[in-house]
Amino acid sequence: MKLTYKQRLFGIIFVIFAVFSLCIIISEQREERKFRTEALESKLDGYVEVIHRYIEQKQLPISDSIAVPTVVNILPEELRVTLIDAEGNVFYENDTQNIKQLGNHLDRPEIMKALYQDYGSNIRMSASMNHEYLYYAKFFGKYFVRVALPYNIQVKNVLQPDNFFIYIVLVMFVIVFILLNLVAGRFEKSITKLRDITSRLKNDQPLPTDITFPDDELGDMGKELVDIFNFREESKLAVELEREKLIQHFQFSETGLCIFSPKRKKIYANSHFLQNINQIVDKPIFDADNIFGDKVLQPIDDFFETKRLGDNHLAFQVAKNAKTFNIQVIVFDDQSFEITIRDVTQVERNRQLKQEMTNNIAHELRTPVTSLRGFLETLHDQDLPAERQSQFIERAYLQSIRLSNLIEDISLLSKIDEASNKFTMDKVNLVQVINEVRIDLTDRLKANNIDLFIKVNPELTVHGNETLLYSIFRNLMDNTINYAGKDIEIHIKDYMEDNKFVYISYYDTGIGVDEQHMVRLFERFYRVNEGRTRETGGSGLGLSIVKNAVKLHKGEIHARKFSKGGLEFLFTLAK
């Protein structure tokens, strides 16, 4: 017969409390008996100390001629007093006339204890008196003083613990028994309701709207179960919503995605999957289930044929029709899997551009570094005249300046590309920036007989970075000075302005650039005249910096041949 929850709870707690009560009673009885024994031993210790002080004060001899009846007579009549020397021989016993018949007492338990610790006590049968005694002995260096009380009913009663505590425990046990029965009955009602709730939750049945619980711990558990059930229902709804969001995300994602069952049957595919797959296969595919077996996707078939345990990922790249696609396979724990096809054509182009730029940078750095090394090696290895030394040092210095300028240009261009958010943007007066460039280039402008004409509103300001705006006009003027020729003019003017942008025209009257080079002027390291550029020390990055700085200011820049000769740059800057 299966016991009810009330019966099991009542039985378990009843046994636990009974064992606990028994342990408490035994412990209390033992402690009280110990306390009473220590109290009696303390009393006996007082008797021993009285006898010892009497012997010391009277300076009595430690022999069988000792006379201590005076002090013994003031002690309790039933107290047995024995004096034993350090060798264990009895030289006084108040209850024995012939002490010589008494044996050596060193083997007595109380004497042995007193010899190795402060005192010794024992309850045993006396060998000489044939009566049970409570012995207490103490060692004083030359002799032992032992006292003993007959272990009779009177002494036993003194040592016997009081039973009052047992009666208290028994009364508490009865009270707990009654309360336990009431609590177990109340718990059983709560458990019955909880069982009904869990059964409904298990069978996914709705909970009653008027369900109530008792105001106890189990009632709180029932309320929490109802909250859990409601939370589960809300979570199911939230999961459904997230599933719909995920499907919408897949549907509008530019990455083609298809999920297959372990038997390679389509579970879900977005629209871009078939679009991307048809750009890389030879024959059109209208159903995702038919992609397997195509030679372009052979790596997928090979992957599943040779797949080892724990090998759950495959990625490879396909180049087809001037486009590059990344194809990735991910196998899930239930052996279903997904295939994603992503068009990375632009990413690949950017990677190739970066690689090309890296190669260009290495090439551009090689020339000044090689020249600088050659000049320094010549100075180091050869004993040249002072004039030739000065000439080589000057050339090395010029190459170091060229190298420094190239590094600065590369650093600025990289910062514009990758850390544009680190540039501080403020209101900047354009005329002040242009005048700073004019002042810095005054000597070079005069050396090339170049006139600068600035027709910009002195109050014109833009929201930008002063360093980059300086770089725009500085690189444009450097480009004119280096390549446009001598005896020319530079004109800068703001030819238009609206609510959003300032429109700037920069042109020179120099030799200009052939039309075939116009489309590539802003490319990094592109040079119209390679040899002449090397002579002027240009890095090939100036106009690229200009273009990127203009773009950072949300503007655009274009180059064209000026109507009266020369080159004109038209660009906008956001206000």
Residue 134 has pLDDT above 80, yes or no: yes
pLDDT at 347 over 50: yes
Which range among 299-308, 460-469, 552-561 shows the weakest confidence by mean pLDDT? 299-308
E strand or H helix that includes residue 90: strand 90-93
Residue 57 is predicted with a pLDDT of 87
CATH fold of 7-159: Beta-Lactamase (3.30.450)
Question: What was the pLDDT predicted at 40?
Answer: 83
User: Residue 503 — very low, low, confident or very high, per pLDDT cuts 50/70/90?
Assistant: very high
> In angstroms, rounded to a whole number, what is the distance separating the alpha carbons of residues 52 and 143?
10
Q: Mean per-residue pLDDT for 441-460?
A: 92
Contact 331, 307 (CB under 8 A): yes
- Is 442 within 8 Å of 477 (Cβ atoms)? no
The DSSP string of 453-499 is: EEE--TT-EEEE-HHHHHHHHHHHHHHHHHHS-SS-EEEEEEEEE-S
Angle, helix 466-483 to helix 542-552, in steps of 10 degrees:
150
Which has more pLDDT, 153 or 433?
Answer: 433
Residue 56: both structure tokens together: 């010391």
Confidence bin at 353 (pLDDT 50/70/90): low
Strand pairing class (313-320; 266-269): unpaired
**pLDDT, mean over the chain:** 81
Grade residue 402 by pLDDT with cuts at 50, 70 and 90.
low
Those residues whose C-beta lies under 8 Å from the C-beta of residue 150, and which sit 6 or more positions away, are 78, 80, 131, 132, 133, 134
Q: What is the mean pLDDT of residues 383-388?
A: 80
Give the mean pLDDT of 550-567: 87
Biggest CA pair distance of the chain: 155
pLDDT value for 563: 75
Which percentage of the chain shows pLDDT scores above 90? 15
Q: What is residue 531's predicted lDDT score, i.e. its pLDDT?
A: 45
For the chain, helix, strand, coil in percent to 5 are: 55, 20, 30
- Inter-CA distances, 201 with 222, 247, 320, 332, Å: 12, 30, 56, 31
What pLDDT does 536 receive?
A: 47
Q: What angle do CA 403, 519, 406 make, to 5 degrees?
A: 5
The Cα 222–Cα 536 span in angstroms is: 87
Residue of 524 and 497 predicted with greater confidence: 497
Nearest-angstrom CA–CA distance, 253 and 273 = 10
pTM for this entry: 0.40
Q: What is the C-alpha separation between 119 and 139, in angstroms, rounded?
A: 7
Residues 177-194 have a mean pLDDT of: 74
- Which part of the chain has CATH 3.30.450.20? 7-159, 253-343
Residue 446 pLDDT class (50, 70, 90 cuts)? very high
Per-residue pLDDT, 364: 53
Query: Of 288, 216, 222, 282, nearest to 257 (Cα)?
Result: 288
Give residue-wise pLDDT tens across range 211-251.
777 677 767 777 787 787 778 778 888 888 888 887 777 77
Cα distance between the two ends of the chain: 91
Which residue spans of the chain are classified as CATH 3.30.565.10?
423-574
Q: Give, in words, the CATH class of 423-574.
A: alpha beta
Per-residue pLDDT at 204:
72
| Residue 60, pLDDT above cutoff 60 | yes
Give pLDDT, residue 415: 66
Q: Phi and psi of 457, rounded to 5°? A: -55, 120
pLDDT band at 533 (very low <50, low <70, confident <90, very high): very low
Q: Give residue 393's Cα distance to chain centre.
A: 57
Cα R_g (the chain), whole angstroms = 55
Separation between Cα atoms, residue 75 and residue 47, nearest integer Å: 7
427-452 average pLDDT score: 92
Do the beta carbons of residue 289 and residue 302 sit within 8 Å? no
How far is residue 528's CA from residue 515's CA, in Å, rounded to a whole number? 11
CATH of the domain spanning 348-418: 1.10.287.130
CATH topology of domain 253-343: Beta-Lactamase (3.30.450)
Residue 351 in this model has a pLDDT that exceeds 70? no
Asked if 123 contacts 133 with a C-beta cutoff of 8 angstroms, the reply is yes
244-273 burial by CB neighbour count: b if 16+ within 10 A, else e? eeeeeebeeeebbbbbbeeeeeeeebbebb
Is the pLDDT score of 24 beyond 60? yes
Dump pLDDT digits (tens) for 301-327: 888 888 777 788 899 888 887 788 899
Question: Over 60: is that where the pLDDT of 567 sits?
Answer: yes
Q: What is the pLDDT of residue 344?
A: 83
